[in-house]
Structure 1
Amino acid sequence: MYQQKMDTVGVKVLETAEDIQERRQQVLDRYRRFKDLSMVRRQKLEDSYRFQFFRRDADELEKWIQEKLQIASDENYKDPSNLQGKLQKHQAFEAEVQANAAAIIELDKTGNLMITEGHFASETIRSRLEELHRLWDLLLQKTKEKGMRLLQAQKLLQYLRECEDALDWISDKVRTGSGRRTALGQQSSF
């Protein structure tokens, strides 16, 4: 009788081991779902973090390429003054462009890895890489064209100097020849 009074007056106690086991399983299930959701959330945050670094690196590379495109598109080869200095500057420019080829290769590796892993921004990454490659190819093309034009301008300048030297030589010969003729003409009149 005393036991019955305790049960009715006090806090209800779980009566069986099965009830305790069921409650324990519910708590474990909720904890497992919480951990799974936390892992998913963490993965999304890490993916977002990697994407932000990718975007930063891609933006920096694009800015650098745009700056170099302006230099490569400059038509300073049309002005023949200090052509040798311009050629030397262009060779240094070409070396700088080639030295930075590693940046696009590294960005490709990062981007393609993210795409193969099924990153949530795979399409954005793919299109960004395509745009960077388009700009990079344009930079290489413009750099090559400018180098060729500078060499052509140098050859033209050299040719014009040689022509000028030849014309000066001919003029000297004509003057010297007329002077001789005059001298010969004066000698024959004696």
Structure 2
Amino acid sequence: MDNPAPAPDSHVREEVEVAIPTGRQVAVRTLPAAALVVIGVPAIVWLVVDASGQTTTRWLPVLVIALLGLSALVMHFVQAPRPSPHKRISTREVQGALSYTHRSGTVPTDPHVRTVAGVYACADVETLVMIAAFLVGGVLAALMRPEFAWLDAGILPVAMALIWAFKSRHGWAYLKVLHSISRAD
């Protein structure tokens, strides 16, 4: 039996619609990477800082970068599935949609903007979970080695964490509104 020739456009993939996960699903899927950070930060401090509060090696930046890379790799494999964002939607438009949803409690009517805002909101929730993990790891490390100069070492990361947390606070609210509307339909 002869097989018919494939259609000329058969090599074009059909886009499979992937649902945007809830904030809870994103947070739970982020926990393995967060646990790695909570354990990794005190482990690095335990290895690099001696009992007098002095660093024993100059490899601290390399170890921190390795921890960041490993946590990003774990995050890649456990990340909640989400749709791919459309290229034609600008970041400014998405940030406006997230902010508007946070204030008004309604999502954008354009499905492309709604999808891209959902993808950004997932990244915001992941960011918040990872910031919390780094802060918990830092507190545990400070409890392990209180003699270290934590004020000098921790002021910049804490300031950056607060800025990121402030910038990504709309993501959880967006996902909550998005899924409450989809459940009501």
Scaled to the shorter chain, the TM-score interval is 0.3 to 0.5
Bigger helix fraction: 1
Larger Cα-atom Rg: 1
Whose relative contact order is higher, 1 or 2, with alpha carbons under 8 Å and at least 6 apart? 2
Normalising by structure 2, what TM-score? 0.35
